[in-house]
Amino acid sequence: MTYRLSNLNAELHAGDIGTEIIVTIYDITETDGVLDQDTPLNLTGLTVTVLLCGQDGTVERSTEVVGLVADGTVKAVTQSGDLVAGELKIRAKVVSNGGTWYTAAVATQVQSVS
């Protein structure tokens, strides 16, 4: 299985707590040689966590579904120490009865507040 995340359209700041990171997970499939990357992953029966991979290591945050499960959108909320100035890579971990998969990472910058 191959998944991708939507682009993150938010400005993140170092030290922010309670920031909602909302992403949509897309299921990448190929049919008759045609690649489909625009179908949201149906989250029914899946457990999804968001991984925040920064300069201080990786933290895993639980998520909640935003909207309908068929829309593939989840929200994670940052906690103390999650956001450190510099590059941050965000990816999702998708767990089902059939196994565990990871999306490709989406990179963004966490802005310094000083």
pLDDT tops 90 at residue 5: no
The mean per-residue pLDDT over the stretch 36-61 comes to 89
Tell which residue, 86, 96, 92, 87, has the closest CA to residue 105. 92
Pair of tokens at residue 24: 């949509």
Q: State percent of the chain over pLDDT 70.
A: 96
Q: What is the predicted pLDDT for the residue at 8?
A: 72
Q: Which residues contact 59 (CB under 8 A, 6 or more apart)?
A: 51, 52, 79, 81, 82
Beta pairing, strands 34-40 & 57-62: unpaired
pLDDT (tens digit per residue) in 73-97: 999 999 999 999 999 999 999 999 9
pLDDT tops 90 at residue 113: no
* 3 state SS of 71: helix
pLDDT tops 60 at residue 56: yes
Mean model confidence pLDDT for the chain:
88
pLDDT tops 90 at residue 15: yes
For the entire predicted model, the pTM comes to: 0.84
CATH top-level class for 2-111?
mainly beta
Question: Any idea where the domains of the chain sit in the sequence?
Answer: 2-111
pLDDT tops 70 at residue 2: no
Tell which residue, 37, 29, 36, 20, has the closest CA to residue 1. 29
